[in-house]
Structure 1
Amino acid sequence: MLPGAPDPPGCRWRGTQPGPGLCWTALLLLLVLPVLVPGSVAQPGAPSSEPGLNVYMSEEEVRRLIGLDAELYYVRNDIVNHYALSFNLLVPTETSSLHFSWHSKSKLEYRLGFLVDNPVAMDSPQTNISLQGDVPRFLSVFRVDLFCSGKMDTEVVLVMQLNVTVSPAKNITVLNFKRRKMCFRKIEQEIKPPLSPDRNSTKVHFDPVNVAPTTSTRVFYISVGVCCAVIFLVAIILAVLHLHSMKRVEMDDSISDSSSSQGLSQPSTQTTQYLRADTPNNATPVTSSSGYPTLRIEKNDLKSVTLQEAKAKVKDIAISRERVTLKDVLQEGTFGRIFHGILVDEKDPSKEKPVFVKTVKDQASEVQITMMLTESCKLRGLHHRNLLPIGHVCIEDGEKPMVLLPYMNWGNLKLFLRQCKLVEANNPQAISQQDLVHMAIQIACGMSYLARREVIHKDLAARNCVIDESLQVKITDNALSRDLFPMDYHCLGDNENRPVRWMSLESLVNKEFSSAGDVWSFGVTLWELMTLGQTPYVDIDPFEMAAYLKDGYRIAQPINCPDELFAVMACCWALDPEERPKFQQLVQCLTEFHSALGAYV
């Protein structure tokens, strides 16, 4: 940070239209690139309206180097982005010049120098400005030319050092810009002209235009043959992998469990940044994803199941009502309740364990009871450390059915987050930003397991997760959620309550559900975590949600949410399901971001 610099200002994400794969490029680079700010409005030669020193690469330059429509800041209003400076940016082979934008409101002196690790392969870089002087007061662009010598094939690492001096205190700030460029040797060939005896050995540069057509044709056919061989080999490999897909799924499950359980410490940290409400307007026609298993849900399909059929599905896990003791009411709705209960061991009555007990009131209809039992079986038979499937049921005649699940003593995640938000709440543990990212990783791990099992949740949200005192999070089914959280579900005129604010556009419009739709819901759930349980799209009429999303609008970046984390959310909300990341990639990305947060504590 430069001497006398103010606090870091807020960065803003402005709406732009990304090309195919842009969201993926941002996701893959967000852990190694600095803040990328789309949509520059300043022009060279225009007066600076912001205080302090600014050094950055313009949107056009970033697009030319790495294909992103964004600005890349190294110094913003006197704040040095060391994260950006530490990244050794690769310069494309065909690029021979770099352009940097800079300006300063106050008087600053500079000195410019270059260091090349291999002077034989690359000549010393040249620039169109003097190597020392004053930083311009108006927005200007200076160029650095990179010329390879053509003597060898190698990758050259170069450093541009910019020393900025604040007068009259003579405080010096050193900025090192690292770049990598591949240099190639110039191809030469000896040609002996047949009619000049006095020019027996003339050496000229190789000219591809003068090569005989037979040579280029031969190269073409060889290239085609190699490509066909590679395609054939890839096809064989894919066929073998497909035959062993089930074994690979089991292996991935164990790897996911072990990777998600290691290296996740929870020190406290906070970052204060704020972005605009709008995200990139990527409004494109809504199509179903061919890369995800898609399930089309017809209207009221769960209501077609009878109560007797629902009971028959859970008969094998039914236990006696006498083994269950109900204690405190944890949540209560119009017709449903969740109790803190005690389950007595069948073989040893002296052993007891706490459980969640989902049940209904006397006024509950047969349809509501059936839906509770049916939806409770959504995760049945699945085993993962971040899932909370049904354990037992009580379905004795004359008694209201009860669904038992393992107990998590801090209860519902959404209610827990909202309690943390209250100033007067007596929280047993302060929740840091790193804690929230840790929770997101666990949810992504559980959803990655479901995706590999081709299980579609269709209602992922903080209200359908639970948490314990060690901040372990587990995903639950959505049984009774419509009754316990009525403000999160809306009927759009078809007599069916749906979590409209958590649903992807293809689910809203076409009732098509897939793992890609669950990824969208995960992005909203991540937003819930960072806002401590706020309601998304709270000002949008549920009937207008489809049009709102189709036009490219999204929920605002939460205050104190880092830009890198909001970029993950934005990628989850791509309208094209194919553009959204897979859950396993989200796990890896969030885990690396979690580790980066811990490095600054």
Structure 2
Amino acid sequence: MQHRYGHDTSAFVVSLLLLALLSGSEASMNLFMGEDEVRRLLGFDAELYYIRDGFVNHCAISFNLSVSTETNSLLLTWNAREMVNYHLAFHVDRPLAMKPPTVNISSSGQVPRALSVFKVSMRCTGQVDGEVSVLMKLSLTIESRNRTVLTFPRRKHCYRTLHAREIIAASSDVDANTASSSTRVFYISVGVCCAAIVLVALLLAALHVRGARSPDSSSLFDSESTQGLSQPSTQTTQCLRADTPNNAAPVSAYPSLKIERNELKPLLLADAQRRVRDIALSRDRVTLHQVLQEGTFGRIYHGTLVDERDPTLKKEVFVKTVTEHASEAQVVLMLTESCKLRGLHHRNLLPVCAVCVDDCTRPLVLLPYMCWGNLKLFLRQCKMTEANNPQSLSQQELVSIAVQVACGMSYLTKREVVHQDLAARNCVIDGSLAVRITDTALARDLFPMDYHCLGDNVNRPVRWMALESLLHNSFSSASDVWAFGVTLWELMTLGQTPYADVDPFEMAAYLKDGYRIPQPCNCPDELFAVMACCWALDPDERPKFQQLVQCLTEFHAALLAYV
């Protein structure tokens, strides 16, 4: 759903007041957009409720719906079982660009008892270009005693109707002038092309003669083949991929990638080791216990770390490492990705705390221990448990987890850090349901079904990626917001795989056509509305993490108060 999300505490207070008024008088009112209207405006097969049986969807009300130039009307459906008086008013910030909205019902009266549809017309004047902010104010009065005003923000894009004609007229004049001199331009172009070809040929011939006369050219190649690292710069350009960001293919590429020139591996590994030297510790301080997760070349252990000053003190840690079959490229991959959150301090982040590189082929990466481990595995375990099991999760607890993830991501955004792989598999949880976001080290190996290679030898979390990331490999805080929406969907489905029936190669086309994962069972409309806003095609239309924190926090408080 393509909205710019905006919300404040006052809107929530207003919605609670309306809820109290409606419930107190036993008035059950509904106000929503029908399925056909939502599909027309937003591309989703769902109904969007603003008020349902007297309960106000304050998140939906505060969404700033964007109305395209071609859309001149909005259809709303409503009814009330008891007597509810209403008054409609509109405010437009740019009257020169858009006429005041009109409705096909009276501006005041009683909300009908039967389901009825009314139309709000929003037409541009055609005189001014720009974006218009429209506020629809709905005043509701119950039994002539209590009055509450709800404000619905909308944005309308307007353009001058004569603007396109002026462009067409100007282009036709240019075409006429161009046609009169087309022959002359053609001959000039041919002459320039011939001159350029001659110059290039002369340049290539000169280079060829110079290379043939060079006395050291043959000995140079011989020295490179025999001396190994004596010419590192030349060999580096031969083995690193040019289409990989920062030319770092051995670090970020698919784990099965093989480096053809083995002599370059020590350079890459040494660089990764230098990055963690200040947090390195001795191997004899670490004890490995049971294996918590294991992949093809990576493992996560439950371990203990002995305090440096007092050997009697020990603390539990996660220990990430590789197997004896791992290549040095995979070792570099683990060390590099483990440093992604290094130096960041927040209660909802889990950065690396220490590294052991005594054995350079099997380094150990240490992180603080969280007793219930990986969030995705924990959610799936909860899905299989009995209803009275201590590990079963309530809706309030799931929303609390979502709030914590949003808080961690909000901190990363403030520090200008883009995670690029936010998902339940990259979070951990403890016994008090405290959640922390982790780095992506070993994620591709431990959760291979969540990553797909689309033909470029790079494994990516395709089902969690925004459209601009799939098409242009563009990552930002807005693409992290998209991934957060999918993570929220994972929470509400207890670890199900999103877009499970969609071919990874078809994901970009699927998203571009407006399709999204459906609303989970038992998921409140408010939460699904938040998810849908995260999946707006335009990155600028997605909410910010700070807004998501505020919305989810208030929704969690409402759940605790009324559920």
TM-score by length of 2: 0.61
Q: Do the aligned residues in 1 keep the contact of 2:140 with 2:149 (CA within 8 Å)?
A: yes
Task: Name 2:525's counterpart in structure 1.
Answer: 563
What amino acid does structure 2 have at the position aligned with 1:497?
N
Task: Name 1:83's counterpart in structure 2.
Answer: 56
- Distance (whole Å) between structure 1 residues aligned to residue 482 and residue 115 of structure 2: 43
Change (3 A) 1:308 1:589: same
CA RMSD of aligned residues (A): 4.2
Q: Do the aligned residues in 1 keep the contact of 2:382 with 2:391 (CA within 8 Å)?
A: no
- Distance (whole Å) between structure 1 residues aligned to residue 115 and residue 268 of structure 2: 74
Q: Do the aligned residues in 1 keep the contact of 2:4 with 2:540 (CA within 8 Å)?
A: no
Task: Name 1:348's counterpart in structure 2.
Answer: 310
Q: Do the aligned residues in 2 keep the contact of 1:355 with 1:405 (CA within 8 Å)?
A: yes
Query: What 5-or-longer segments of structure 1 have no aligned partner?
Result: 1-14, 35-52, 90-98, 116-126, 144-155, 163-173, 182-294
Instruction: Map 1:15-164 to 2 at 5 A.
Output: 22-24=3-5, 31=12, 56=30, 80-83=53-56, 160-161=141-142
Give the CA deviation at 1:135: 7.5
What amino acid does structure 2 have at the position aligned with 1:302?
V
Task: Name 2:322's counterpart in structure 1.
Answer: 360
User: What are the Cα deviations for residues 495-514 of structure 1, in whole angstroms up to 9, with x where unaligned?
Assistant: 11111111111111111111
- Distance (whole Å) between structure 2 residues aligned to residue 548 and residue 397 of structure 1: 46
Among 378, 403, 419, the alignment partner of 1:457 is 419
Q: Do the aligned residues in 1 keep the contact of 2:427 with 2:437 (CA within 8 Å)?
A: yes
Instruction: Map 1:164-203 to 2 at 5 A.
Output: 178-179=148-149
Task: Name 1:515's counterpart in structure 2.
Answer: 477
Task: Name 2:21's counterpart in structure 1.
Answer: none
Task: Name 1:441's counterpart in structure 2.
Answer: 403
- Distance (whole Å) between structure 1 residues aligned to residue 457 and residue 76 of structure 2: 58
- By relative contact order (CA 8 Å, sep 6+), the higher-ranking structure is 1
Change (3 A) 1:30 1:543: farther
Query: What 5-or-longer segments of structure 2 have no aligned partner?
Result: 16-26, 63-74, 88-104, 121-136, 152-243, 253-264
Change (3 A) 1:297 1:438: farther
- Distance (whole Å) between structure 2 residues aligned to residue 426 and residue 565 of structure 1: 25
What amino acid does structure 2 have at the position aligned with 1:475?
I
Among 260, 271, 292, the alignment partner of 1:309 is 271
Change (3 A) 1:598 1:179: same
Among 282, 300, 316, the alignment partner of 2:249 is 300
Change (3 A) 1:337 1:579: same
Task: Name 2:289's counterpart in structure 1.
Answer: 327
Change (3 A) 1:406 1:368: same
What amino acid does structure 1 have at the position aligned with 2:535?
W
Q: Do the aligned residues in 2 keep the contact of 1:103 with 1:140 (CA within 8 Å)?
A: no
Give the CA deviation at 1:83: 3.3
Q: Are positions 1:388 and 2:337 aligned together? A: no
Q: Do the aligned residues in 1 keep the contact of 2:280 with 2:356 (CA within 8 Å)?
A: yes
Task: Name 2:210's counterpart in structure 1.
Answer: none
Task: Name 1:553's counterpart in structure 2.
Answer: 515
Give the CA deviation at 1:420: 0.4
Percent same amino acid among aligned pairs? 60
- Distance (whole Å) between structure 2 residues aligned to residue 452 and residue 345 of structure 1: 33
2:310 partner SS: coil
1:512 partner SS: coil
Instruction: Map 1:129-278 to 2 at 5 A.
Output: 160-161=141-142, 178-179=148-149
Instruction: Map 1:473-512 to 2 at 5 A.
Output: 473-512=435-474
Give the CA deviation at 1:571: 1.2
- Distance (whole Å) between structure 2 residues aligned to residue 403 and residue 88 of structure 1: 47
Q: Are positions 1:406 and 2:368 aligned together? A: yes
Task: Name 1:581's counterpart in structure 2.
Answer: 543
Give the CA deviation at 1:539: 0.6
Change (3 A) 1:590 1:322: same
- Distance (whole Å) between structure 2 residues aligned to residue 383 and residue 160 of structure 1: 49
Task: Name 1:94's counterpart in structure 2.
Answer: none
Q: Do the aligned residues in 2 keep the contact of 1:296 with 1:513 (CA within 8 Å)?
A: no
2:299 partner SS: strand
What amino acid does structure 2 have at the position aligned with 1:527?
W
Normalized per residue, the structure richer in helix is 2
Change (3 A) 1:392 1:418: same
- Distance (whole Å) between structure 2 residues aligned to residue 477 and residue 112 of structure 1: 53
Task: Name 2:199's counterpart in structure 1.
Answer: none
2:552 partner SS: helix
- Distance (whole Å) between structure 2 residues aligned to residue 314 and residue 507 of structure 1: 29
- Distance (whole Å) between structure 1 residues aligned to residue 13 and residue 312 of structure 2: 56
1:532 partner SS: coil
User: What are the Cα deviations for residues 331-372 of structure 1, in whole angstroms up to 9, with x where unaligned?
Assistant: 000111000001111121111111000011111111111100
Change (3 A) 1:423 1:490: same
Give the CA deviation at 1:300: 2.5
Q: Do the aligned residues in 2 keep the contact of 1:24 with 1:571 (CA within 8 Å)?
A: yes
Among 379, 402, 419, the alignment partner of 2:341 is 379
Give the CA deviation at 1:429: 3.7
- Distance (whole Å) between structure 1 residues aligned to residue 468 and residue 9 of structure 2: 25
- Distance (whole Å) between structure 1 residues aligned to residue 331 and residue 9 of structure 2: 45
Q: Do the aligned residues in 2 keep the contact of 1:388 with 1:405 (CA within 8 Å)?
A: yes
2:332 partner SS: helix
Give the CA deviation at 1:175: 11
User: What are the Cα deviations for residues 549-589 of structure 1, in whole angstroms up to 9, with x where unaligned?
Assistant: 11111111111111111111111111111111111111111
User: What are the Cα deviations for residues 242-276 of structure 1, in whole angstroms up to 9, with x where unaligned?
Assistant: xxxxxxxxxxxxxxxxxxxxxxxxxxxxxxxxxxx
Q: Do the aligned residues in 2 keep the contact of 1:88 with 1:179 (CA within 8 Å)?
A: no
What amino acid does structure 2 have at the position aligned with 1:24?
Y
- Distance (whole Å) between structure 2 residues aligned to residue 495 and residue 574 of structure 1: 28
Q: Are positions 1:595 and 2:544 aligned together? A: no
What amino acid does structure 1 have at the position aligned with 2:466?
S
- Distance (whole Å) between structure 1 residues aligned to residue 285 and residue 390 of structure 2: 32
User: What are the Cα deviations for residues 219-250 of structure 1, in whole angstroms up to 9, with x where unaligned?
Assistant: xxxxxxxxxxxxxxxxxxxxxxxxxxxxxxxx
Among 487, 494, 508, the alignment partner of 1:525 is 487
Q: Are positions 1:467 and 2:429 aligned together? A: yes
- Distance (whole Å) between structure 2 residues aligned to residue 533 and residue 175 of structure 1: 48
Task: Name 1:337's counterpart in structure 2.
Answer: 299
Give the CA deviation at 1:88: 12
Instruction: Map 1:411-422 to 2 at 5 A.
Output: 411-422=373-384
Change (3 A) 1:575 1:392: same
Q: Do the aligned residues in 1 keep the contact of 2:33 with 2:76 (CA within 8 Å)?
A: no
Give the CA deviation at 1:315: 1.4
Give the CA deviation at 1:448: 1.0
User: What are the Cα deviations for residues 15-44 of structure 1, in whole angstroms up to 9, with x where unaligned?
Assistant: 8xx5xxx3426899995798xxxxxxxxxx
1:306 partner SS: helix
